[in-house]
Every structure is written in structure tokens, then in C-alpha cells.
């Protein structure tokens, strides 16, 4: 005679229910942005973004492919209606109901990630004359929210909004090396260009028997004894992510060939100290 315990039967029922539930919507929930995004990813999105908003999508409708121009392969464009949960940054008036378009990756069945009724972060601007309508600063400028992401993002925004925030670096204007009185002594000054026209400079100092030192200044005052910027800070991001990999020959105005070689060496030293600027978003 076949006997099934009550606990065994209940376990079987629960297993079947779980399987049925999984079959109803097998779309994977995307990993939290806090687990995949780098500092540069967050700074790229937050910099120059008028509004950073936490919202909850309530309705997601696919846009017909013929109307979704410029969508990358393997992605789709979606019309979203969402509810405002919080304004993380920005001062523009914002209603409770939001509408926007977003590009999302598709799975093997052509389905987007399951984000409906989950909290997301939007990097957007309001649309003049259209209350509640947003335009994302990038087609994919929507992240799945979680508490670690919120903390990291707020730290980046605090740096960006600081009165003494480092300017956006666009290149190297001039580089000059001046040798000292002792063998092995000298200093390189690397004068940078910025989008605002404000001054920025890197100083590399060498002394006999000591490791080279370098620092950066984002003001008229060049402080050669300051500490280099820590990794994953705004000052580091401005340099590591936007300086050219090699010192442009046209910027090296050192007077002799030996001095020009020393300036090039010092620039290479700074880039090695900064390290790469990793990004997970394309």
C-alpha cells in the first residue's frame, strides 16, 4: 500500500506551485546596478544630468520596431508610465506620474528584464510644456535601484554639486620639465585644459633618493605637496577617464630633448598611478 506523508504531499504541492509561477514569467530580474557599475559609470550618468529620480514603473509597453530608430541590436524600446518615489538630485518641478521612453536589453524570447513595480533610478530632463513627461539623458539611462546603489550615487552627486568640484578635464595644454641643481632632481608641470576654461595642473616632483611625488590642483594655486587624488573620487575620474593615454608631442614645450623626455616620463608616471578607468556600460 502506497503511503505519502502529509509533509511530503505539501512539499510536492509547493514545488508544483513554484514551477507554475516560474513558468508564468521566466524573465530574469536584472542584477542590481550596485553589483555591476563602476564609479565612472555612475559619474558618466550623473554628470550634467538635470534630474536624478527614483521611480516605480507601473506600465511598460513595447514600441513598434519601425518606430524605434537607433535601437542597438538585441535591445528594444519601451514606453513606460511610472510613479515618482523620490527626487535624488535636481530642482525642476516634478509630478507624481511620469512618462518616458527607455531602451532595455531583450532575452532569448525577446522579453525585457522584469522591472515593473520595482524601484528604478532615472537620469533625465523634463520636457517643457509636457507635465510628467521625461526624456532620459541616454536611451538606456535607467538603473534598477537598491540601497547600495543609492548610497554610491548620492556620494557621486555630492561631489559633483560641491562648490569646489573639480572641473571637467578635456586635455593637456602644456607640459614643461625643469631640472634641479642636483642629479635626478627636477619638476614637471602639466597644464590641463578644462571645459569651463578654469585652471587645472598636475605637478610631478623628483628628488634624489626619494620616490617621485605628484599632485593635481583645480585652482590658480598649484600645491606640489598635496596628496594625489584617491581612486573612485571625482578628481581621479576627471583625470583617469579623460586625459589622453600619451602626452601629446605638441603640448611638450620643454626646452631640450632630455627635458622633453623627462616630461613624457613624468606624464606616463601619472597615468600609471591613476590606473585604468573601467566602465561596464557602452
Average pLDDT, the chain: 88
Confidence of residue 184 (pLDDT cuts 50, 70, 90): confident
Tallying the residues shown for the chain, one arrives at: 282
C-alpha span between 157 and 202 (Å, rounded): 24
Whether the CB-CB separation of 191 and 175 falls below 8 Å is answered with: yes
Whether the CB-CB separation of 89 and 157 falls below 8 Å is answered with: yes
- What pLDDT sits at residue 31? 62
- What pLDDT sits at residue 12? 38
The listed range with the strongest mean pLDDT (1-10, 30-39, 127-136) is 127-136
Residues 6+ apart with CB under 8 A from 175: 188, 189, 190, 191, 247, 251, 252, 253, 254, 263, 264, 267
Residue 256 is placed in which grid cell?
631640450
Q: Please compute the mean of the pLDDT values over residues 141-152 and round it to a whole number.
A: 95
Closest alpha carbon to 173 in 249, 276, 251, 229: 251
User: Residue 246: pLDDT above 70?
Assistant: yes
Q: Higher confidence at residue 20 or residue 194? A: 194
- What pLDDT sits at residue 224? 59
Q: 7-53: per-residue pLDDT in tens? A: 443 343 334 334 434 444 555 555 666 678 999 999 999 998 999 99
Task: Give me the DSSP letters along the chain.
Answer: -----HHHHHHHHHHHHHHHHHHH--PPPPPPGGGT--HHHHHHHHTT-SEEEEEEEEEEEEPPGGG-TTPPTTEEEEEEEEEEEEEEE--S---SEEEEEEEEE--TTSPPP--TTS-EEEEEEEPTT-TTBEEESSTT-EEE--HHHHHHHHHHHHHHHSTTPPPPEEEEEEEEEEE-SSTT-EEEEEEEEETT----EEEEEE-TTS--EEEEESSS---TTSPPPPTTSHHHHHHHTTS-SS--GGGB--SSHHHHHHHHHHHHHHHHHH-----S--
Tell the CATH topology of 33-161: OB fold (Dihydrolipoamide Acetyltransferase, E2P) (2.40.50)
Q: 52-84: per-residue pLDDT in tens? A: 999 999 999 999 988 999 999 999 999 999 999
Q: 81-100: per-residue pLDDT in tens? A: 999 999 999 988 898 999 99
Whether the CB-CB separation of 215 and 201 falls below 8 Å is answered with: no
Q: Please compute the mean of the pLDDT values over residues 157-177 and round it to a whole number.
A: 97
C-alpha span between 7 and 5 (Å, rounded): 5
C-alpha span between 44 and 46 (Å, rounded): 6
**pTM value > 0.75:** yes
CATH 2.40.50.120 maps onto the chain at: 33-161
- What pLDDT sits at residue 146? 94
C-alpha span between 188 and 160 (Å, rounded): 28
- What pLDDT sits at residue 221? 67
Percent of residues, the chain, with pLDDT higher than 70: 86
Q: Could you tell me the sign of the dihedral formed by the alpha carbons of 199, 202, 208, 210, in that order?
A: positive
Whether the CB-CB separation of 97 and 83 falls below 8 Å is answered with: yes
Amino acid at each position: 500500500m502506497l503511503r505519502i506523508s502529509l509533509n511530503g504531499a505539501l512539499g510536492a504541492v509547493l514545488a508544483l506551485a513554484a514551477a507554475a509561477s516560474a513558468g508564468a514569467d521566466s524573465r530574469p530580474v536584472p542584477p542590481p546596478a550596485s553589483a555591476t557599475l563602476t564609479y565612472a559609470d555612475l559619474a558618466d550618468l550623473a554628470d550634467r544630468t538635470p534630474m536624478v529620480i527614483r521611480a516605480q514603473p507601473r506600465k511598460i509597453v513595447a514600441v513598434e520596431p519601425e518606430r524605434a530608430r537607433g535601437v542597438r541590436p538585441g535591445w528594444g524600446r519601451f514606453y513606460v508610465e511610472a510613479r515618482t518615489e523620490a527626487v535624488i538630485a535636481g530642482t525642476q518641478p516634478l509630478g507624481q506620474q511620469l512618462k518616458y521612453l527607455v531602451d532595455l536589453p531583450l532575452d532569448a524570447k525577446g522579453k525585457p528584464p522584469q522591472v515593473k513595480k520595482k524601484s528604478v533610478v532615472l537620469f533625465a530632463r523634463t520636457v517643457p510644456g509636457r507635465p510628467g513627461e521625461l526624456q532620459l539623458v541616454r536611451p538606456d539611462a535607467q538603473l534598477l535601484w537598491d540601497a547600495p546603489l543609492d548610497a554610491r550615487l548620492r556620494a557621486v552627486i555630492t561631489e559633483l554639486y560641491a562648490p569646489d568640484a573639480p572641473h571637467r578635464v578635456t586635455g593637456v595644454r602644456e607640459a614643461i620639465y625643469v631640472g634641479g641643481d642636483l642629479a635626478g632632481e627636477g619638476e614637471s608641470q602639466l597644464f590641463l585644459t578644462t571645459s569651463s576654461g578654469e585652471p587645472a595642473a598636475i605637478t610631478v616632483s623628483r628628488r634624489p633618493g626619494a620616490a617621485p611625488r605628484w599632485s593635481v590642483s583645480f585652482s590658480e594655486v598649484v600645491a606640489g605637496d598635496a596628496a594625489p587624488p584617491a581612486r573612485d573620487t571625482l578628481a581621479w575620474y576627471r583625470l583617469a577617464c579623460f586625459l589622453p593615454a600619451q602626452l601629446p608631442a605638441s603640448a611638450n614645450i620643454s626646452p631640450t630633448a632630455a627635458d622633453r623626455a623627462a616630461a613624457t616620463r613624468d606624464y606616463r608616471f601619472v597615468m600609471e598611478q591613476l590606473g585604468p578607468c573601467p566602465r561596464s556600460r557602452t
